[in-house]
Structure 1
Amino acid sequence: MTNKKKMGKFKKFKQSKIFRIKAKPETTKIRRLRFRNRAVVMLLGYLTVLLLLIIKMLFIWINDNQKYELAVLDRLSKKDVILDPLRGSILDKNSKTLAVSQIAYDVILDPKTLLEDVDEVERNRIITELAKFSGQSEIAIIEMLNKSANSRYKLFLKDISISDKDRLVALKLKTVSYIQSALRIYPKGDFASAMIGFYNGVEGQYGLEQFYNPYLKGEPGRIFTNITSGELLTNKTIPAINGSSLVLTIDETIEQTVQAVMNDFVQKSDPVAASAIIMNPNTGEIYAMYSYPSFNPNTYGNLSSQLGPEWNEMTPEQKSEELYRAWRNYNIQNVYEPGSTFKPLMVAAALDLGYLQPDEFRANCTGSINVAGTNVNCWYGPGHGIQTVEQVLANSCNPGVIEIANLVPNDIFYEYMLEFGLLEKTGIDLAGERIGIIHDLEQFGPLEKATASMGQNFKLTPMQLLTGFNSVINGGYLIEPYVVSHIIDSGGSIIYSKTPTVKRQVISTETSKLITQDLESVVTTGTGGFAAVPGYRIGGKTGTAEKGYPRDEKKSILSFIGYTPIEKPKIVAMILMDEPRNDEIGGTGLAFSTIMKEILPSFELFGDNQKPMQVNLVKVPDLRNMDIYNAIELVNELELDVITKGGGNIVAEQYPAAGIMLPIGANITLYLETNKTQSLVNVPNLVGLFPADAKKMLGTALFLEIYGESDLQILNQIPPAGTLLDRNSKIIVNTSN
């Protein structure tokens, strides 16, 4: 057969129909029956095995229940019991306790034994005594026991005192045991709370408690335990190692004074926040630190004592926000625009490299200055006139300090801002310190430089500014501030001792000395009159910074930095009020003065044989709108000296303002204005002349009014030489004592 024929057959085969043979119906029924029988047999087998397992489990449960239950309890009870160490104490510089941990005890119950093995009478007695001790109801305790009926370890009370534990032990309560723990106590409540921080039961939070947590926490101990057949066996105990204690630079007495004064001013001024720092500018030691709002670290999660009923009405979110504000230390965790308190740093930078020559420099304040097409105003609208460097600082004159800043190249100005530490942490040993926010040098144009010289458009923490300010008055050195003097371990050995840390010298000693002396005039004749302290020479600087963009004069931060003695400052203080709603009480300068009057006697600022000078203070009267003659007469009666600026016969403004206390002999500046269109006449010096000669000198421009004999020499005159008066005004002279 050929291949072709084969292929043909193959095709035919493929095309043919395929027939399937159908099974007979009897065969299908038999298969189904067989499958069903096998399934029934398998199911019966499974059920039989399951039944046997259930019977076995019931047998075990009935006969060996106690044995297996104890075995499970043994496994569950093989655990370590942690022994809490006593957290280290926090002490002030005189070893007065600010924070301490005390031995406490947790009360542990054995519900299973109490419910099953203790007779009913004794059980009821135990429950009754526990209810009396804890203040809980007997029903509540019974419910708690029933819920934990199979447990042999149930925490009933936490952190009871030793004496309370002894009371319970004396009652001989079966199934009640005690495990030692530790309780953190802050005996002085909210005393320096923002600086100290708090302990949350696990670790330190904020302030010293967080920063020094590795030293304070200690090492926990362990009790290795095992319950066998219902009996508690102690196999091994590793004792806890108590934490080390901190000895601070803080003085409790100074801190209490600062807190009392600041709380009083906060109540009167009603600011949204406030802060204060008292420290040694030469060593960096912090003597006191205050931050408002505050909290009590004993109840750190509850501000009801601070906020009253308002606290209970707050939402959880509002409570969290208020707690966060209270826990934060304003001195190191809030940034703000420093305002004029920065000006001494600016002037020091200009002096240090010789860009500013104090003997030659004179600023001319007309009330504003144009910077790159923008008018920058002085706080005193009429202008301060011609001023020396000292007067620019005393008057806190914005145009004057801008003129000084213009003498310094931008890169040098910026470099000094960095040298003063304004873009770095101070290094203070408190948790959470922030750093300032300053323009980059590339963005430091003429206007940015001008506003920066006034302490605006950049932000610092109060601690940053005060550290930089210290370098201006301490000889030129940037010193690291600190709160902890030394650390003592649980055995009484000193394991750490802090010594002053000098980061670098920023300005020369000569520059520092000059600025330190000039800043005394801020208090004697300038903007800081409220800061005067009888018996002490005080230097300092006021500051006001309006908040927001655009600026809101109703929302300002007021501050004052002051120091004493002038020759070599040993104590410096910074007071700050953020948005005081009532600033009519003398502000931060008066708060400074009030604090210093209380604490300065405790510092040995004068030699043993030298007593502080006695200074008599007088209250500045309101001289505005008075004529020049009456104003000067009133000032002279108070034994104050007069400086006149401007021209005219009417006092338009005065400096210092009315109400400020000044020492006898201090200057009052009177700013004059005229209501006439005619020309002004410069008053000559008539002292030492005879009245006849004085009349010739005055000519027809001014008239002479004589008190005393006309043939005697003139002893004094009103107004003084240099005053600009309206033509045809009078000069009053006196020839008699």
Structure 2
Amino acid sequence: MNIRANILLRVYLSFGLIVLLAVAVLVRLCDVQFVEGAKWRAMADSLSTKYINIEAARGNIYSNDGSLLATSVPEYELHMDVFAGGIQDNDVFYGKVDSLALRLSQFFGDKTPKAYARFLRSARQDTARYLLIKRKVNYQDLKTIRTFPLFNIGKYTGGLIAIQKNKRILPFQALAARTIGYKNVNVANAVGLEGAYSDYINGESGKRLVQRIAGGVWMPVNEEAEIAPKDGADIISTIDINMQDLAQNALEKQLIASDAHHGSVILMEVATGEVRAVANFTRVSKGVYKELFNYAIAGNQDPGSTFKLASYMALLEDKKVDTNTLVNTGNYRIPGHTIRDSHGSIGVVTVKQAFEESSNAAIAELVNTHYKEEQSRFTDHLYDWHLNEKLGLQIPGEAKPVVKNPKNKSWNKNMTLPQMAYGYEMQLTPLKLLSFYNAVANNGRYVAPIFVKEIRRLGNPIEQFKARVVNEKICSDETLGKAKALLEGVFLNGTGRSLASPFYRIAGKTGTAQVADGNRGYKAKKQYQSSFCGYFPADKPKYSLMVTVNDPQGLYYAALVAGPPFREIADRIYASDMQMYNEVTDRLVGNTVSPQAKAGQSKDIKKVYQAFGIKSLYAAKSDYFNSIDTTNGIVFQEYSDVKGYMPNINGMGLKDALYLVGNAGLKAQVKGSGKVFSQSIPAGSKIGKGLSVQIELN
């Protein structure tokens, strides 16, 4: 083969290979474009754009009186697209960037105008499309920022991108904070109303399309959401913000005074079971307490003497004793242990006196004597009263009560029963025990406490809640009457007599219990829980109240430690609740004379009569007038003040009379008290400044 033929062969082979490769590439391009096109386009879209969730505004939580306990407020994260449609032109951007930098510097105060200008110019050079300007900007500030140079060119073309986020705030801060709770993505660890009702409060998330840009940043494609979020529903709680404030202040003050480790207060409305206040504080340092744990619903401990009510009610219901039955106090010996009264023996007394003076020995002897041969009969009462069960609260975290029975492995036939009688060998939460006392106050109707009474969306109720009835009647009316008398006797004659009020009656029981020091038991360190559980007013119960103070230093008796906050809370609620005062019976009879009133300022008289619901027949428009009593309401006589003439002050109180006389330029000499019935210068007489007028009151 000659050289020419050899060269041509090589050229043809090379050209053929090139053509073959080109055909293969073309075939593969067609395959990618037409056969696998949908697959690759979807993958490309998923890498460059995606939908993200937009958090909905969480619903509000309101108190029983309409106060806002928790709400969501919009908070914005501000970004800037330095190549937005309206500012792409360099003349527009660079012509106003310094003015924008000055306004940002003046508004935020975190950088100098020059620093902001360099920051924005550098972003322009780097073609930044999603430059972070500021986080945590409120709505009012955002409205102002929209008026800044460049940003005011247009909502979508000026470069400002505002990403809304929702910030949860508590207007009353620490008040009821633990009960309100907080959002927790871990449902198993839900806290308070926020956690329990998150399905209602959270609302439904929206969707926004975002695009991936340089640096791995995702920028919204559109300013508006593709799917708008649906705001959450509102929760109407049973908490009364004023009562909550009162409960927290009273508890914290006592904890500081006693240098106690922790304590709780629960206030509950007797008839409805609605919880009006829950306070829990734990010592974090000397004299400083914070709400770290909800002891009221999760703090299981030996209830101590406050449990004696249940023991006496079991005895009374089974007719083992009556309130006048005699019993020994002081010491009661059982195998391996002696039960003592801390205040010593008060001799042989009635059951009523033993309860009032909180004798441990007396109740231990009574229960052990009457139930020793049938121990389950005593515990059956406790189980019938559901003291061994959870209340099924609307908020999470409730501890399960521990109430033994003879079938339990830890039951000691010699020791368990008598010690249960005065509140040991069991574990109850403060709210559990309060609910039992509340049942006594509620004439035997045992209701489970509630924290939420209504759920609303856009102001319309979508669900309402009533207290669940645990037991329609816990015992006979006879037992209830005697139990109420025992509880009232504590304040009249017993351990709570120093806390009795002269204005209203209180029923309740003190409790001082030695509690275990964790796993180290009772002997490692003596710790006490002081508690006070009861209701008021005793004759017509409206509220039940439980106060516990744990590990107080120094004095630890309940009447001295838990009693003062109980009395303070009860006093202030009673003083502020007109419905709890003794009602005055309205008696409507013929020829009733309307009450007399002093002449004086018209607006004051009108206000008083309107408050008493008295019909007032007046058309007077002057500032002062006299009132005339009639059987058909109050007729007012208008007073006309003429300058230079003696005013008519007859029938006025001294304050109004002196005001008018002084304005007329007269000097007054006053005699007597009451209202004006005589004036030395007759009304309507011409007068001059400086004259003296004698005013006589009666």
Aligned to 2:466: 499
Is 1:250 matched up with 2:235?
Answer: no
Deviation at 1:120, TM superposition (A): 5.3
Asked whether the equivalents of residues 422 and 435 of structure 1 are also in contact (C-alpha less than 8 Å), the reply is no
Aligned partner of 1:484: which letter? V
Aligned partner of 1:497: which letter? Q
Aligned to 1:377: 340
Is 1:608 matched up with 2:583?
Answer: yes
Deviation at 1:582, TM superposition (A): 4.5
Task: Indicate the larger mover: 150-159 or 575-584.
Answer: 150-159
Deviation at 1:330, TM superposition (A): 1.2
Deviation at 1:511, TM superposition (A): 1.1
In structure 2, C-alpha distance between the alignment counterparts of 1:280 and 1:255, rounded to whole Å:
13
Deviation at 1:290, TM superposition (A): 0.7
Deviation at 1:237, TM superposition (A): 2.7
Aligned to 2:331: 368
Is 1:581 matched up with 2:556?
Answer: no
Aligned partner of 1:377: which letter? R
Distance change (3 Å), C-alpha of 1:236 and 1:545: closer
Map 1:640-651 → 2, pairs under 5 A: none
Aligned to 2:80: 109
Map 1:61-100 → 2, pairs under 5 A: 76-100=47-71
Aligned partner of 1:178 among 162, 178, 184: 162
Is 1:392 matched up with 2:360?
Answer: no
Is 1:424 matched up with 2:389?
Answer: yes
* 1:313-344 deviation digits (Å, cap 9, x = unpaired): xxxxxxxxx9xx84421101211111100000
Is 1:445 matched up with 2:445?
Answer: no
Deviation at 1:102, TM superposition (A): 2.0
Asked whether the equivalents of residues 402 and 426 of structure 2 are also in contact (C-alpha less than 8 Å), the reply is yes
Aligned partner of 1:566 among 512, 518, 538: 538
In structure 2, C-alpha distance between the alignment counterparts of 1:484 and 1:113, rounded to whole Å:
49
In structure 2, C-alpha distance between the alignment counterparts of 1:144 and 1:519, rounded to whole Å:
79
Task: Indicate the larger mover: 503-512 or 447-456.
Answer: 503-512
In structure 2, C-alpha distance between the alignment counterparts of 1:127 and 1:583, rounded to whole Å:
65
Distance change (3 Å), C-alpha of 1:211 and 1:155: farther
Deviation at 1:593, TM superposition (A): 0.8
Aligned to 2:193: 208
Task: Indicate the larger mover: 151-160 or 426-435.
Answer: 151-160
* 1:127-172 deviation digits (Å, cap 9, x = unpaired): 5654554554476994998799676446554442110111211114
3-state SS of 2:419 partner: helix
Aligned to 2:484: 516
Aligned partner of 1:457: which letter? E
Aligned to 2:258: 269
Is 1:190 matched up with 2:201?
Answer: no
In structure 1, C-alpha distance between the alignment counterparts of 2:57 and 2:224, rounded to whole Å:
23
3-state SS of 2:443 partner: coil
Larger Rg, first or second structure (1 or 2): 1
Deviation at 1:562, TM superposition (A): 2.0
Deviation at 1:446, TM superposition (A): 2.6
Aligned to 2:493: 525
Map 1:277-316 → 2, pairs under 5 A: 277-293=266-282
In structure 1, C-alpha distance between the alignment counterparts of 2:569 and 2:384, rounded to whole Å:
31
Deviation at 1:121, TM superposition (A): 6.2
In structure 1, C-alpha distance between the alignment counterparts of 2:180 and 2:125, rounded to whole Å:
40
Aligned partner of 2:63: which letter? D
Deviation at 1:196, TM superposition (A): 0.9
In structure 2, C-alpha distance between the alignment counterparts of 1:257 and 1:231, rounded to whole Å:
48
In structure 2, C-alpha distance between the alignment counterparts of 1:334 and 1:191, rounded to whole Å:
20
Aligned partner of 2:311 among 324, 342, 346: 346
Map 1:10-25 → 2, pairs under 5 A: none
Distance change (3 Å), C-alpha of 1:104 and 1:339: same
Deviation at 1:78, TM superposition (A): 2.0
* 1:534-555 deviation digits (Å, cap 9, x = unpaired): 3111111001111222347742
3-state SS of 2:505 partner: coil
Task: Indicate the larger mover: 253-262 or 395-404.
Answer: 253-262
Aligned to 2:589: none
Deviation at 1:527, TM superposition (A): 0.9
- Uncovered stretches (5+) of structure 1, i.e. residues with no partner: 1-44, 54-70, 295-305, 311-321, 612-737
Aligned to 1:659: none
| Percent of residue pairs identical | 26
* 1:608-665 deviation digits (Å, cap 9, x = unpaired): 3179xxxxxxxxxxxxxxxxxxxxxxxxxxxxxxxxxxxxxxxxxxxxxxxxxxxxxx
Aligned to 2:443: 475
* 1:551-606 deviation digits (Å, cap 9, x = unpaired): 47742110101212323422111111111124389311121111111111333224
Distance change (3 Å), C-alpha of 1:187 and 1:441: same
Distance change (3 Å), C-alpha of 1:405 and 1:552: farther
Aligned to 1:664: none
Task: Indicate the larger mover: 458-467 or 145-154.
Answer: 145-154
Asked whether the equivalents of residues 340 and 396 of structure 1 are also in contact (C-alpha less than 8 Å), the reply is yes
3-state SS of 1:85 partner: coil
3-state SS of 2:280 partner: strand
In structure 2, C-alpha distance between the alignment counterparts of 1:90 and 1:590, rounded to whole Å:
31
In structure 2, C-alpha distance between the alignment counterparts of 1:156 and 1:416, rounded to whole Å:
68
Query: What is the TM-score with the length of structure 2 in the denominator?
Result: 0.67
3-state SS of 1:180 partner: strand
Aligned partner of 2:376 among 397, 411, 414: 411
Distance change (3 Å), C-alpha of 1:145 and 1:132: farther
* 1:655-693 deviation digits (Å, cap 9, x = unpaired): xxxxxxxxxxxxxxxxxxxxxxxxxxxxxxxxxxxxxxx
Asked whether the equivalents of residues 275 and 451 of structure 2 are also in contact (C-alpha less than 8 Å), the reply is yes
Aligned to 1:638: none
Distance change (3 Å), C-alpha of 1:235 and 1:593: closer
In structure 1, C-alpha distance between the alignment counterparts of 2:544 and 2:309, rounded to whole Å:
15
Asked whether the equivalents of residues 83 and 159 of structure 2 are also in contact (C-alpha less than 8 Å), the reply is no
In structure 1, C-alpha distance between the alignment counterparts of 2:121 and 2:305, rounded to whole Å:
64
Asked whether the equivalents of residues 206 and 327 of structure 1 are also in contact (C-alpha less than 8 Å), the reply is no
Asked whether the equivalents of residues 225 and 234 of structure 1 are also in contact (C-alpha less than 8 Å), the reply is no
3-state SS of 2:562 partner: helix
Map 1:655-694 → 2, pairs under 5 A: none
In structure 1, C-alpha distance between the alignment counterparts of 2:405 and 2:326, rounded to whole Å:
30
Aligned partner of 1:402 among 346, 350, 364: 364
Aligned to 2:143: 166
Query: What is the TM-score with the length of structure 1 in the denominator?
Result: 0.63
Distance change (3 Å), C-alpha of 1:493 and 1:358: same
3-state SS of 2:575 partner: helix
Aligned to 1:218: 203
Aligned to 2:663: none
In structure 1, C-alpha distance between the alignment counterparts of 2:286 and 2:88, rounded to whole Å:
48
3-state SS of 2:433 partner: helix
Asked whether the equivalents of residues 437 and 544 of structure 2 are also in contact (C-alpha less than 8 Å), the reply is no
Deviation at 1:501, TM superposition (A): 1.7
Distance change (3 Å), C-alpha of 1:425 and 1:108: farther
Aligned partner of 2:506: which letter? I
Asked whether the equivalents of residues 420 and 471 of structure 1 are also in contact (C-alpha less than 8 Å), the reply is no
Deviation at 1:496, TM superposition (A): 1.3
Asked whether the equivalents of residues 83 and 124 of structure 2 are also in contact (C-alpha less than 8 Å), the reply is no
3-state SS of 2:426 partner: coil
Aligned partner of 2:203: which letter? G
Deviation at 1:500, TM superposition (A): 2.7
Aligned partner of 1:566: which letter? A
